[in-house]
Amino acid sequence: MAVVIVQGASRGLGLQFCKVLASRADVAKVIATSRRAENEAALHSMQSQFPNKMVLINVDVTKENNIKQVVPKIMEESTGKIDLLLNCSAILHPSGKGETSLRDVSFEGLRTTFETNTIGPVLTAKYFSPLLLKSSGLFGKQAGKKHSGILVNLTAKVSSISG
């Protein structure tokens, strides 16, 4: 059975992927990560529904040391391998609102957006790739065939599907 990590799991696309993956019979474990995964009510509710399947781990993808430090815990929870890594963490604008005019653009805002949307997924892939390489190919269209884990970087301009 497959082990899956959903990075950016606290809302939007990541949260919906957690719901779908946790309900699948071919998924043994869903490791849901985000900056505050352990404090998110929606993830706790899902963990109650799937107590032996859902694991919540705080990871801030804008801090390389944080990603590096969480690898041993993920190794323990994943039994040393990951079959699917979904990077869904992203922001449109640090204000939490939609796009702004050029007058409102700031260096810090651009840096935060770039760190979250670009650097974070690359560093996550860097530190989790040894676990992806140990995958037994248990997930995907060619389940059971010899292949390493699957890495998906996914975001949307507006990813909230909760209404």
| 21-63 residue pLDDT tens | 999 998 999 999 999 988 889 999 999 999 999 999 999 999 9
Q: What domains, with CATH codes, occur in the chain?
A: 2-153 (3.40.50.720)
Query: Which residue spans within the chain are E strands per DSSP?
Result: 2-7, 27-34, 54-58, 84-87, 150-153
> What pTM, to 2 d.p., does this model score?
0.87
